[in-house]
Structure 1
Amino acid sequence: MNDQDLEQLLNRYRPAGPADDLLPRIITSPDRQLRKSPRAWPWAVAAAALLAVTMALHVSAFVPSPERTSTAQADLAQQLGGDPLADRTAQFILASQVARDASEDQTPWDTR
């Protein structure tokens, strides 16, 4: 087979033109198809609300009462010397203790 034979074979086949209804399908607005599809935003709003409620409940479960914290902080600061440095140290100790307790409560199994 040479180039002339190949050209003759290719000349037998002509590419087909576009379908007659292609232009109207391209020009028409897609609004008709968009109206048929279900809206996703109600589901997104519901998921966001559920996430917000879950996070609020999760955070409120680990926040100690302010009265109890301030009393414990004052007592610990008094035991550490009663000066401003002792007060800041007591605040740090209690915050780290709350964080440690919160992380232990979230452990799904006993690691001891």
Structure 2
Amino acid sequence: MADKDESLQTCTLPLSRVKTIMKSSPDVSCISQEALFLAGKATELFIQSLAQVSLEKSTDKKSLQYRDLAEVVNSIDTLQFLQDIVPKKITAREFFEMLKQNEDEDEET
């Protein structure tokens, strides 16, 4: 029980980096220590949850691959905001075929 209480009171992410990211927003002028800690802890818990869900849906239960994360991000509606950050990998051939289709559609219009 003490370990669980202790883990709730500490943040494994570097709070200085979290603060830098938060300050990069033009809407943020100052950040209290409490807000900084809560943002860091929430981010940490989100990353843990994303990793756990990805591992559960993975075919290999011993390791987590990029494709597992990309699959979860693309299949769960609440994670759609991460699609640009964690896109599905495609081959160069698939990419060039997509470009060709877009060019063909542009020529038709």
TM-score by length of 1: 0.30
TM-score by length of 2: 0.30
Greater Rg over alpha carbons, structure? 1
